[in-house]
């Protein structure tokens, strides 16, 4: 089996609305927002009972998705914004844009 494309990147955020607007400015479209909660969702993530607000953003070409998650329960366990670049976990998402302004 050969990889054909990347479909989804997930990012945990603390300001869902502000993050949606940031990615809208870059040209991504909001596909939808939802609240995911309950024990069934926790079985998927391994977090137990959880309550998460999510937003799915679509790239202009329609192929890629950016899933934004804001955890209400359980709370986010650490702030990795000051982690060094060699820390495990999310490091970056890159997009090609026409104009940075």
Q: Report yes or no on 87 lying in a domain.
A: no
Q: Are 11 and 90 in contact (CB under 8 A)?
A: yes
Q: What is the CATH number of the domain that holds 21?
A: 3.10.180.10
Q: Report yes or no on 44 lying in a domain.
A: yes
Q: Report yes or no on 60 lying in a domain.
A: yes
**Which residue, among 9, 8, 15, 33, has the nearest Cα to 76 in the 3D structure?**
15
Q: Report yes or no on 61 lying in a domain.
A: yes
Q: Report yes or no on 82 lying in a domain.
A: no
Q: What is the pLDDT of residues 31-56, one digit of tens each?
A: 999 999 888 888 888 888 889 999 99
State both tokens at 32: 């939808």
Distance CA 56, CA 75 (A): 21
Domain extent for 42: 8-73
Q: Is the pLDDT of residue 92 over 70?
A: no
If one counts the domains in the chain, the total is: 1
């Amino acid at each position: 089996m050969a990889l054909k494309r990347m479909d989804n990147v997930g990012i945990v955020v603390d300001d869902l609305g502000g993050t949606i607007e940031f990615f809208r400015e870059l040209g991504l479209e909001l596909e939808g927002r939802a609240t995911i909660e309950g024990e069934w969702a926790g079985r998927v993530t391994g977090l137990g009972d959880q309550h998460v607000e999510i937003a799915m953003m679509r790239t202009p070409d329609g192929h890629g998705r950016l899933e934004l998650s804001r955890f209400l329960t359980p709370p986010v366990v650490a702030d990795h914004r000051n982690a060094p670049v060699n820390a495990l976990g999310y490091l970056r998402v890159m997009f090609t844009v026409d104009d940075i302004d």
